[in-house]
Amino acid sequence: MYDFRFADIGDGIEEGKILEWKVKVGDKVKEGDTLVIVETDKVNAELPSPVDGVITKVGKAEGEVILVGETVVVIDDGKGGDLPKAEAAAPAPKKEETKQAPVAGVKATYDFKFADIGDGIEEGKILEWKFKVGDKVKEGDTLVIVETDKVNAELPSPVTGTIVKIGKAEGEVIKVGETVVLLDDGSGKYIGGSDAKTEAVEENGASVIGELSVSSDLIDSSDETHKSEVKTNKKALATPVARNLAKKLGVNINEITGTGSNGRVMKEDIEKFANKGSKTEAPVAAKATTVNVPAANVSRQGDVTIEAITSTRKSISKAMTTAKTIIPETVLMDEVVIDNLIELRKRAKPLAEAQGINLTFMAFISKAVVIALKEFRIFNSSFDHDKNEIIYKNFINLGFAVDTPSGLIVPNIKDADTLSVFALAKQVRELADKAIARKVQLADIQNGTFTITNFGSVGVSYGTPVINYPEVAILGVGKISKKPIVVGDEIKIGSTLPLSIAVDHRIIDGADAGRFLLRVKELLSNPELMLLS
């Protein structure tokens, strides 16, 4: 007996519908005879008989759906045997948990692991060790610099002690949950005993990246689960040990003033704060949004070159897939005459240069956007589609896309609504330089509320920018061009700036997008209004 199954033909086809049978039970067929026509999402396929024989069973009737792996027909090929039993589907492989046993001969009291810092980082590459085995370190000392897909992170020591083992060498990849270093803190409670200190892998996002302004109490890809009123977006510098202590004592680590280096919150700071009796409710952790992406089925036949993408490109790919899958965006485009803005910039440029500031048009565009965001609050929000709630941000962290050799990076200017045009220009330049040099910190790219992307920098006028999820809108800026414009009843040459606004159509209508864009245009065409708004 021959069990002829519907096979994966290698083009992403998972199922088909039986259109027409060419044979019936009892018919004799020869190898190559067309048995059935199956409609797939790509083609109508004629399935030929794989052997000579007699049809003893038809799998699906006309009009029914057949899945890959299901029986098309059973053919008696004269070789005898019973009907083959359907093979049980192989269970999905379990994701291996990264657990490392203590190394024989190494006496350590603290197993410092690379933790999930809650921003999609799954692994990093060891760039530079600052210490070696046998060195003594203090809590907060930078142990190693790790390159991730978002930032180059400095990992501080969680305790004071001696390094007894280094987990990975420079150039090697370290995954979340793997050991960074084994330390001996002098307590005598060595790993393997009941009192051994082993940092938990699942620490609700507790960061090992102490030099980054990241809090394990609240590391969100969005503010979708925050309370409607967000009082602060400050993130404390602290080690996992300090964060765990804060959790146990029920205090909000972000409210504590740190006395350590660079303002790092130490264990003593937490204990003093807790003794004052000040307790706050711990924020609710953000719920991750996952997107199921079908397995890629790409032909590698012929003359091809295969190149692995960078970690930054992996991050961009993931973010773009999430945004385009979740957000039904709509895009509006227009242009604004900026002759007045050009004149204002020309007059203000010497004043900026005297302060060491390069006054670009992006600073004025940023100021106009900030004013519009304060007037149209829905554009400075996020949408929780699970709870059907809009989370309005009471702060403006203005992001801007930076074209770097590694790929697109989007740092953001914190509290941009509190800054002048000169201050915005300074922040844009500093963050762009850090992004290009891969020195941007995780805090620089977290908690953005609105993004500007400038495709005019590469000579393009219009585009349809992709919203930086979980934000709800993004402004695209094109190249400045001179063209004929109508002024009164006369045609003159004017400088125009193209603008494209993409919005999340679930919560922002086209009319609102139009009004937002018109307000930005008004401010840019009459820049003196920025001083009055």
Cα angle 308, 312, 315 (rounded to 5 degrees) comes to: 100
Q: CB neighbours of 149 closer than 8 A, spacing ≥ 6? A: 120, 121, 310, 311, 312, 314, 315
Q: In terms of DSSP bridges, do strands 398-400 and 450-454 run parallel, antiparallel, or are they unpaired?
A: parallel
Residue 146 burial by CB count (10 A; 0-12/13-18/19+): exposed, middle or buried?
buried
The contacts found for 91-99 with CB under 8 angstroms, 24 or more apart, are: 97/177, 97/201, 98/175, 98/176, 98/177, 98/178, 98/201, 99/177, 99/201
| 503 close to 473: Cβ distance less than 8 angstroms | yes
DSSP line for 502-528: EEETTT--HHHHHHHHHHHHHHHHSTT
Check 505, 507, 522, 525 and give the catalytic one: 505
| 421 close to 357: Cβ distance less than 8 angstroms | no
385 catalytically annotated: no
Q: CB neighbours of 347 closer than 8 A, spacing ≥ 6? A: none
Q: In terms of DSSP bridges, do strands 44-48 and 34-39 run parallel, antiparallel, or are they unpaired?
A: antiparallel
DSSP H helical ranges for 281-420: 311-326, 339-354, 361-375
Whole-angstrom distance, CA of residue 38 vs CA of residue 54:
21
| 246 close to 217: Cβ distance less than 8 angstroms | yes
| 12 close to 40: Cβ distance less than 8 angstroms | no
Amino acid at position 60, single letter: K
Strand order in the sheet with 136-137: 136-137, 161-166, 179-184, 110-113, 197-198
The contacts found for 31-35 with CB under 8 angstroms, 24 or more apart, are: 35/4, 35/72, 35/73
Residue 418 burial by CB count (10 A; 0-12/13-18/19+): exposed, middle or buried?
exposed
Cα angle 389, 391, 397 (rounded to 5 degrees) comes to: 155
| 476 close to 468: Cβ distance less than 8 angstroms | no
Q: How many H-runs (helices) and E-runs (strands) does the chain carry?
A: 9, 28
Q: Which residue numbers are catalytic?
A: 505
